[in-house]
Structure 1
Amino acid sequence: MKLNLKNPIVFFDLETTGTNINTDRIVEICYLKVYPNGNEESKTMRINPEMHIPEASSAIHGIFDADVVGCPTFKEVAKNIARDIEGCDLAGFNSNRFDIPVLAEEFLRAGVDIDMTKRKFVDVQVIFHKMEQRTLSAAYKFYCEKNLEDAHTAEADTRATYEVLKAQLDRYSELQNDIAFLAEYSSYTKNVDFAGRMVYDDNGIEVFNFGKYKGMSVAEVLRKDPGYYSWILNSDFTLNTKAVLTKIRLREMSNLITK
């Protein structure tokens, strides 16, 4: 089924040095840009992560230190990538939990300010898990009746994710061919930050999603325990989490001044 698009949508996949969204880095990125008229543009690039690629990670995606020698760093290509995805919704496989947080961290490290708050995020894995409970290779076989060749290369995984989403729309009549619907359906929680350390509750209030203040209003915690803000800023949380928390804190301080 052809996607019903109001905006271009970028399907993307990352290969990385590991699975820690705070500290691991991108070694390969592929993105497939699909326009509302059905036209497609794709790009794949190797990235020098400026750190050693652990052997365990290389065993999965086949990219070793020697393969990224001479490749650009993310900082060197960040503005081009930001320009390519400007005004686009985003889609991936496990992207809400991993690829989008990692990409956001890389942009922040590179000093590139990219606003993702107005974008829709479609996570094809979440749709798959809600419907069938399997992996990308199994999803590709199940929905597209083809074997996924070159699994764990960014380009193959990106293309497979796009094809799986179209096949899901063909298979499930309850899925609406609408990116806003798919973004809502493919999200388990309404995250405030990409790592999900803060989420919106049923009333649209930002609440902490971890630790001793789980379920409590972020604004209320910042008022009652100002030291909690400093603790988060000095602890091992993502740059995005810290930036979002700072934005909330500044907003609340401004509200107090204007009252």
Structure 2
Amino acid sequence: MKLNLKKPLIVFDLETTGLDIVNDRIIQLSYIKVYPDGKEERESLFMNPEKPIPAMVSDLTGITDEMVKNAPTFKERSSYLNEKFKGCDFAGYNSNHFDIPVLAEEFFRAGIDFDFSKCRLIDAQTIFHKMERRNLAAAYKFYCGRKMEEDFEAHRADQDTEATYRVLQGELDKYNPATAEEPDRALPNDMDVLAEFSKLNDNVDFAGRIVWQDMKGKDGNVLLDSGGKPRRQEVFNFGKYKGWVVSDVLHRDPGYYSWMLASEFTADTKQVLTRIRLREFNKKSN
């Protein structure tokens, strides 16, 4: 099914030196940029991680130190990728849990403030797990009717990207509201709905250190905005201030902000906290 897009969608996959969001680095980034008119652009980029690729990762992906030693670093490609990705939504497989946080860290280290909070983040794995609960290979067979190994080489970002794109299209075909046999297993071809459906939690930052919480009045009832939706606020989800409203903590204990910036939190968490702090400062100034 052709995707119903209002702005470009980046369908992408990463291969990295490991699974540590903060310390590991991208070695391959592949994406398909799908435009609202249906035009597609594909690119697969190797990157020098500036650190050795573990043998286990090379065995899994087939990507070696030799293959990336002369490739540009992410920082060297960052301005180019920033321009390519600006104004786009993103889709991947397990991307909301891993690929998007890793990409956010890489942009931050490169000195680029790429604000993913302004993007719709669609995770084909979350859609699949909520509907069928299996891995990418099973998803490919289920939605595309073929074994993945018949069409692709496993554990290569460009191959997995193509498979993910086909799975996402297959999901929209299968759960098309016009043809779905069960109304509760229907998904409209709408990026807003798919992004909302892809969410597994109410995290404000990718690591879940700060989460959204409904605001309540003195009577204990949830406060609503002008559109009838619950008003929400950011609260800490860890440590001594767990459950506290972030803005209240920043006013009550200003040193907590400095402590978090100096501690081993992800760059994304620190960015989110800084944006909240600036927002509160501007409120006070006005």
- Offset at residue 221 of structure 1 (A): 2.0
Gaps of 5+ in 2: 178-185, 215-230
What is aligned with 1:41?
Answer: 41
What is aligned with 1:143?
Answer: 143
Deviations 1:90-143 (A, max 9, x none): 000111111111111111111123233321110111101111111111111111
Letter in 2 for 1:200: W
What is aligned with 2:219?
Answer: none
What is aligned with 1:183?
Answer: 195
Does the Cα contact within 8 Å between 1:4 and 1:177 map onto a contact in 2?
Answer: yes
| 1:200 has 2:212 as partner | yes
What is aligned with 1:231?
Answer: 259
For 1:212 and 1:99, the matched residues in 2 are separated by: 30
- Offset at residue 144 of structure 1 (A): 0.8
What is aligned with 1:252?
Answer: 280
Give runs of aligned pairs for residues 83-102 of structure 1, distance below 5 A. Answer: 83-102=83-102
For 2:46 and 2:37, the matched residues in 1 are separated by: 29
- Offset at residue 241 of structure 1 (A): 1.1
- Offset at residue 230 of structure 1 (A): 2.3
Give runs of aligned pairs for residues 107-146 of structure 1, distance below 5 A. Answer: 107-146=107-146
Gaps of 5+ in 1: none
Name the SS for the 2:29 alignment partner: strand
Name the SS for the 1:201 alignment partner: strand
Letter in 1 for 2:160: D
Name the SS for the 1:96 alignment partner: helix
- Offset at residue 228 of structure 1 (A): 2.4
What TM-score, normalized to structure 1? Answer: 0.94
Name the SS for the 1:63 alignment partner: coil
Letter in 1 for 2:246: V
* Regions of 4+ moved over 3 Å: none
Of the two, which has the highest radius of gyration?
Answer: 2
Seen in structure 2, the aligned counterparts of structure 1 residues 210 and 56 have a Cα distance that, compared at 3 Å, is farther
| Residue from 157, 162, 166 that aligns with 1:159 | 162
- Offset at residue 238 of structure 1 (A): 1.1
Letter in 2 for 1:164: V
What is aligned with 2:28?
Answer: 28
Q: Structure 1 residues 210-219 or 149-158, which shifts more?
A: 210-219
Does the Cα contact within 8 Å between 1:11 and 1:32 map onto a contact in 2?
Answer: yes
For 1:38 and 1:53, the matched residues in 2 are separated by: 37
Name the SS for the 1:156 alignment partner: helix
For 2:237 and 2:65, the matched residues in 1 are separated by: 37
| Residue from 238, 242, 248 that aligns with 1:214 | 242
- Offset at residue 190 of structure 1 (A): 3.4
Name the SS for the 1:23 alignment partner: coil
For 2:156 and 2:241, the matched residues in 1 are separated by: 40
Aligned length: 258
For 2:244 and 2:133, the matched residues in 1 are separated by: 32
What is aligned with 1:78?
Answer: 78
What is aligned with 1:170?
Answer: 173
What TM-score, normalized to structure 2? Answer: 0.86
For 1:211 and 1:160, the matched residues in 2 are separated by: 40
Calculate the aligned-residue CA RMSD, in Å.
1.5
Does the Cα contact within 8 Å between 1:137 and 1:151 map onto a contact in 2?
Answer: no
- Offset at residue 147 of structure 1 (A): 2.1
What is aligned with 2:16?
Answer: 16
Share of identical aligned residues, percent? 56
Deviations 1:12-43 (A, max 9, x none): 00000111111110000001011112111100
